[in-house]
Every structure is written in structure tokens, then in C-alpha cells.
Amino acid sequence: MKRYQALAEETAQRIRSGSLKPGDRLPSVREVRDLRGLSASTVFSAYYALESQGLVEARNRSGYYVTAHALAGTAEPGISAPQAKAMDVDVSALVFQVLTQARQRDMVPLGSAFPSPELFPFDKIARSLARAMRHMNPWQTVQDLSPGNLELRHQIALRYGLAGIDVPPSQIVVTNGAMEALNLCLDVVTQPGDVVAIETPAFYAALQALQRRRVRAVEVQTHPRTGVDLASLESVLDRHPVKACWFMPTFQNPMGCTMPDEAKAGLVGMLTQRGIPLIEDDVYGELYHGTRRPRPAKGWDTEGWVLHCSSFSKSLAPGYRVGWVSGGRFATQLGRLKLMSSLATALPSQLALQEFLGQQSFDRHLRALRDALRCQQASALRVIESHFPVGTRVTRPAGGYFLWVELPEEVDALELHRQALLQGVGVAPGHLFSCDQRYRHHLRINHGHPGDRRFEPALRLLGELAGRLVASRPTPASAQV
């Protein structure tokens, strides 16, 4: 990261944390130059970057100020209200309908689960692939069955090491993307009929996995910025025979919330004490907007109760289907279940990534990717603040590529989804993110397509459609009169 970027990010963090509030004046360029020993042009570049993100604005001759809408312009959604009972899960029909629509190439993909494939260095990875295949030993087709290619597992272990986490390659099982890793975890630590604790709202793929496994879900209160509420979790664990937790402690889907380090430590401590496995879905961890990767909950796992799942599908190589689980005390069982259920992860994919990761260009790519996603988040927030109806609330995640939008109660997100579809815009209605189709006036917005010029007009259109729905419907309260 260049110096100006570091300064911009540091300042952005202070705005996000609230230590710099809307209307506050930033220190002058001269002040920063003298205090920090930076050149004036570095400080200017940082302030320009913050301005382009909509976080600060220049006022004539008097310097830079935090913008009114930097945080407070649109409020954050409230903390979620979990259902008290464990629920059977049945979400599939609606999810498949929405996913199918999202795959139509001509649809503006605001509802997609994926970042734009144009963000990834496919040419470079293909060169790694070609190189790796030239040196492939045919016997690797047998040797690299589950748990997977040893050199690749070693590379993955090195990345844990960079984050200060000690995971031996022997505890890593290479999988067909994180999705397979998560499903393997669920199958290893639960039986049909068991109860699993989840966030609310939760990623629909997690709900689908629970449905497939025929386990019941019990929801834990989840804050739109700080994630799983530990007091709520403790109460859930006291009341229900929870066999596992499935959480995304970092850049949760759909809200983008990240549990603070202390909360992650507390989470792992609480589960370790009770002997409850944590399935940690951490596929967005590399897509942070700040200066460093949030530490996964796995980083506090001393007893092997955390099954940490991730992949390269969102960070480097979509379509290659290379994910992994760092399985702690369950690693051997996971490797065997993988062997029984799909035998191996595609060898060309494993070798391509092993070769690419040996080259040090992963981090360069990641920096560019993070910048692109962060800037696009800023534009998305600007559009939402200026074009969505009064009363709209939105998250401001510190990473990933989703915004979680809470619209005024009168807006039925499914109706909005239908109207938007007719105009070529896909959205993910909030209905998808719980077992009982709550979150009826919520949307998940994908801002992971920075190269798509249709993005801002489509988002404006959504805001306008939502506004019309507000105007045309009685509020739920008046409807009951």
C-alpha cells in the first residue's frame, strides 16, 4: 500500500469508527505534513482519495471536512430480532428463481452473489496452469486425491502463517470451493434432526445447506456492524441443544458485519468451553477495505473446535473451484468424507493455484481488487443516500462487496424484485436470508461490478421503484386500521 493510501485508509477508519464525525474538519495539509513527515502531495492524494469515496469534501479555502452523509446520511439498520424457536429450513424455490435470473448475462447483477469475473487475473492464472500442466506427473492424479496436493496445502498454511495463525498442512483439506468445504463440515459435525445456530439474516447458501442436511436452525441476534451478539448466543446455547454454529464472523453475507477481535475471541472461548464446533465461513476475509486482514475466529482456536472454510473463488480464481477447510480436530474425518463423496479436487485447478501462489503476485492483485470494491461501495452509498426513499437504512461494511439495505416497511422487496427484473435489473430480496422469509423490506446489493456502467443507473432505478412503492402503499400500520 502506498503512503497516501495508508493515510487515506487510516482517516477512513477514524470516520467509520466515529472518532471523526460528519462536519469535523480534517487536519490541514500543512499540519499533517509537519506532524507525520509526509510530503504535501502525499497528503493531498490521500484527501483526494477520501473525497472520491464521498467521505470528505473540500470547502472553499477552509480545508477538508467529513461529509454529512459519510456515515449518518443514511442510518445503519437495527440489530436483528431472532426467532426464539428452532426452525425447519425450506428456502430453495425462491433462491433458485433468483439465482437463475442472476445468471442471465444481460441482467444488471445487483442481486448476484459473485463479484464481476472481470476483476480477476485469468490470463496470469492460465499461464500458471499451463506451466503446472507441463510439469504434471501423471501419478499426481492418485497422490493428490483428498486431502489434496501437499504443496498447495503448504501454500495455504503459509498464508495462515502470514496472519499469525499456525495451521499445519496436515489439517487442511482442499475442496471443490468453499461450498463443498462448508457442506462437508456440516455433515461431519451434525446429524439430521440436530440444531445448528446461525446468524440472522443469514446467507441463503447456508440455509440451503442446513435444509439439505435436514438440521434445524436457531437464530442468534446479529448486529449489522459487529455481527453475532455473544449474550444472545449464550442464551441460545442455554436453551437449545446446539450441535454446531455456522457463522461468518468477517464481512458476513448479507450484512457485511465483522465481529470485533474481542468478540471473536469470546466466541471461540465460549464454544470451546462447551465443546461446540464452529463452522467459520470466511470467504470474504481477503476483501477488506482497511489496512489489514481481519483475523478469523480460527486465530483464537487453541483446541481445534473451529472448522475454518475459505476459497480462492472470491479472491483470485472464480470457476477454478479451489477451496479448503482447516479442520482442527475434525481434519481427518473431513478428508475422509471428501474422499467418499467426491474423491478429489480437480488437479489442474489445484496445480494452477499452487503454481500461482508461489509467485507472490497474489497480493498485488488483491490490493487492486480491494481498491476497486471499496470505491464502488462509496459510489453505491452515494446513490442510495441520494436516490432511495426517506427512511432507508444501509450498512457500510469494512470489506466485501455487499450492502444490506433496509427500505421503509411499506416496500415489499419481492415486488421490487419483480418490477426491477422487468427493467433488466436483478436484486436479492431480503426474503432469501431467513428460514421464514422475514426481511421483507430488505435488499442485498452487490457492488462488486465496478466496470459495469449500468451499475449506477440501475441502482438509481431501484431507488425510484422503491420510492413509488412507498407512495402507492399504505403503511402496514394504517393498513391495519
Cα 316 to chain center, whole Å? 15
Render 254-308 in DSSP notation, one character per residue.
Answer: TT-----HHHHHHHHHHHHHHT--EEEE-TTTT-BSSSSPPPPGGGG-SSS-EEE
What DSSP character marks residue 248?
-
CB of 130 to a copy of itself, least distance (A): 5
C-alpha cell at 381: 452509498
**Number of residues this chain uses to bind a copy of itself (CB under 8 A):** 57
Indicate which single residue of 214, 239, 367, 418 sits in contact with a copy of itself (rule: CB under 8 A). Answer: 214
Is 65 near a copy of itself (CB under 8 A)? no
Indicate which single residue of 37, 62, 106, 139 sits in contact with a copy of itself (rule: CB under 8 A). Answer: 139
- Could you count the other beta carbons within 10 Å of the beta carbon of residue 90? 14
Is 453 near a copy of itself (CB under 8 A)? no
CB of 210 to a copy of itself, least distance (A): 10
Is 346 near a copy of itself (CB under 8 A)? yes
Is 375 near a copy of itself (CB under 8 A)? no
Is 39 near a copy of itself (CB under 8 A)? no
Between the CA of residue 156 and those of 148, 150, 168, 174, 362, what are the distances in Å? 12, 10, 9, 10, 12
CB of 321 to a copy of itself, least distance (A): 4
Strand order in the sheet with 428-429: 393-394, 402-406, 442-446, 428-429
Q: How many CA atoms lie within 13 A of 251 on its CB side?
A: 23
- Binding piece for a copy of itself, criterion CB under 8 A, among 63-71, 345-353, 361-369, 473-481: 345-353
Is 325 near a copy of itself (CB under 8 A)? no
Is 101 near a copy of itself (CB under 8 A)? no
Between the CA of residue 234 and those of 81, 115, 202, 334, what are the distances in Å? 15, 35, 18, 27
Is 25 near a copy of itself (CB under 8 A)? no
Is 45 near a copy of itself (CB under 8 A)? no
Is 130 near a copy of itself (CB under 8 A)? yes
Indicate which single residue of 87, 136, 163, 366 sits in contact with a copy of itself (rule: CB under 8 A). Answer: 136
Indicate which single residue of 67, 112, 221, 253 sits in contact with a copy of itself (rule: CB under 8 A). Answer: 112
Indicate the residue among 139 and 480 with the shorter CB distance to a copy of itself. 139
Residue type at 369 in one-letter notation: L
Q: Which residues contact 411 (CB under 8 A, 6 or more apart)?
A: 389, 441, 466, 469, 470, 473
Indicate the residue among 141 and 386 with the shorter CB distance to a copy of itself. 141
Which residue from 35, 32, 121, 53 is spatially nearest to 289, judged by alpha carbons? 53
Is 141 near a copy of itself (CB under 8 A)? yes
Indicate the residue among 14 and 124 with the shorter CB distance to a copy of itself. 124
What DSSP character marks residue 312?
S
Helices 204-213 and 177-189: angle between axes, nearest 10 degrees: 40
C-alpha cell at 475: 403503511
Q: In the range 168-207, which residues lie near a copy of itself by CB under 8 A?
A: 176-177, 179-180, 183, 187, 192, 205
Indicate which single residue of 216, 225, 321, 431 sits in contact with a copy of itself (rule: CB under 8 A). Answer: 321
- Binding piece for a copy of itself, criterion CB under 8 A, among 33-41, 158-166, 208-216, 296-304: 208-216
Is 365 near a copy of itself (CB under 8 A)? no
Indicate which single residue of 24, 72, 114, 409 sits in contact with a copy of itself (rule: CB under 8 A). Answer: 114
Pairing type for strands 195-200 and 216-223 reads: parallel
Is 124 near a copy of itself (CB under 8 A)? no
- Binding piece for a copy of itself, criterion CB under 8 A, among 28-36, 141-149, 219-227, 279-287: 141-149
- Binding piece for a copy of itself, criterion CB under 8 A, among 158-166, 341-349, 396-404, 412-420: 341-349
Is 373 near a copy of itself (CB under 8 A)? no
Q: Which residues contact 154 (CB under 8 A, 6 or more apart)?
A: 169
- In degrees, rounded to 5, the angle at the alpha carbon of residue 58 between the alpha carbons of residues 52 and 62 is 160
Indicate which single residue of 208, 232, 272, 315 sits in contact with a copy of itself (rule: CB under 8 A). Answer: 208
Is 96 near a copy of itself (CB under 8 A)? yes
Is 392 near a copy of itself (CB under 8 A)? no
CB of 86 to a copy of itself, least distance (A): 19
Cα 442 to chain center, whole Å? 17
What DSSP character marks residue 80?
P
How far is it, in rounded angstroms, from Cα 479 to Cα 476?
Answer: 5
C-alpha cell at 1: 500500500
CB of 448 to a copy of itself, least distance (A): 12
Q: Check: CB of residue 46 under 8 Å from CB of residue 52.
A: no
Q: Which residues bind a copy of itself (CB under 8 A)?
A: 92, 96, 99, 102-103, 105, 112, 114, 117-118, 120, 122, 126, 129-130, 133-134, 136, 138-145, 176-177, 179-180, 183, 187, 192, 205, 208-209, 212, 214, 318-322, 336-337, 339-349, 352
